[in-house]
Homo-oligomer: A and B are copies of this chain.
Amino acid sequence: MATADQGRRGGPAAPDPRSAADRLLDVLGAFDQDNQALTLTAVARRAGLRLTTAHRLVGTLTRWGALERDQAGVYRIGLRLWETAALAPRGVVLRQAAMPYLEDLYEATHENVHLAVRDGTDVVYIERISGRSAVGVRSQVGARWPLHATGVGLALLAHAEADLQEQVLGAPLAAFTPYTVTDPARLRRLLAEARRTGYAVSDRQITDDAVSVAAAVFGAGGALVAAVSVVVHAEDAHPRQLGPAVRVAARGISRALGWQPR
């Protein structure tokens, strides 16, 4: 797409092939889990923009409420973007439907409870309820991890279309601990096991002291929507005991979303 204001402002620098709209989104995209608070200079560097362009776009975003500027001149994501994003059907809307069942699962286990959705070959965490004495986990709300290494990811992958399974199984599989399953044949067996039992188990694949037990959530018409999990200390893990509880919670959420058992 043509860069609209390049001709007027470009000067001697090479033309920026991005449209003004793309550049605005690149400013938003400069913020992530590891970069939640950025100076103007950092925004410009991360978005690949000249300081004057970054200054103009950050001003536009701040006036709209997508960014907030503190007294030290540091920018963070603003409340109005949060309000708008709260309309995402896979974000807050799904979370609200799921919350009572996540609460029930938490009450029954007092362990970390997670809700996640798939995006490409990753999972994105939508909700987490953490027990105060529960095992430390690396899944923040809004964080993403590869499908093959997490309990929720395995539950989603086990019920995904064959094309997606082949895409994941055919690509290199990243390891996060010595226990991460990176052998496609072994991963295929894990997925078959998850389909057979109704729950997936990720044994110390993300951190070497945590086991996740997860089940898939379906919507109206049987569409795969999300997955729910309980994450426990590896030494206390009894997947066969946790599996049914996680399945019950996943079915409760599915029913709330309009799913009906065949």
Binding site for B on A (CB under 8 A): 1-2, 4-5, 8, 19-25, 28-29, 31-33, 36, 56-57, 60-61, 64-66, 68, 76-93, 96, 99-100, 103, 117, 119, 124, 128-130, 132, 141-142, 144
Query: What chain B residues lie within 8 Å of A20 (beta carbons)?
Result: 4-5, 19-21, 24
From known contacts A24-B21, A79-B124, A119-B79, infer whether A84 and B31 are also in contact, taking CB-CB under 8 Å.
yes
Chain B CB count within 10 A is highest, among A19, A32, A61, for A19
- Distance (whole angstroms) from the CB of A9 to the closest CB of chain B: 9
Most buried by B among A57, A60, A129: A60
Give the residue name and chain of the B residue nearest to A37 (CB).
Answer: B89
A2-B8, A141-B96 are known contacts. Are A85 and B85 too (CB-CB below 8 A)? yes
A77 to chain B, nearest CB (A): 4
Known A-B contacts: A20-B24, A77-B88. Give 17 more (CB < 8 A): A2-B8, A4-B5, A5-B20, A22-B60, A36-B93, A65-B119, A76-B87, A77-B84, A77-B87, A79-B91, A79-B117, A81-B84, A81-B85, A82-B85, A82-B91, A82-B92, A103-B129
The one of B4, B24, B92 in contact with A8, judged by C-beta atoms closer than 8 angstroms, is: B4
**What are 16 residue pairs bridging A and B, where the CB atoms are less than 8 Å apart in the complex?**
A19-B60, A25-B66, A29-B64, A36-B89, A76-B88, A77-B84, A80-B119, A81-B85, A81-B88, A82-B90, A82-B92, A83-B144, A86-B91, A92-B141, A92-B142, A103-B129
8 Å CB contact of A142 from B5, B87, B128: B87
- Neighbouring B residues of A5 by C-beta, 8 Å: 2, 4, 20
Asked if residues A88 and B78 are in contact (CB atoms below 8 Å), the reply is yes
Q: Say how many copies of this protein the assembly contains.
A: 2
Q: Knowing A4-B5, A8-B2, A24-B24, say if A32 contacts B85 (CB, 8 Å).
A: no
With A and B bound together, what is the CA distance between A24 and B66 in angstroms?
Answer: 12
* Chain B residues within an 8 Å CB radius of A22: 60, 64
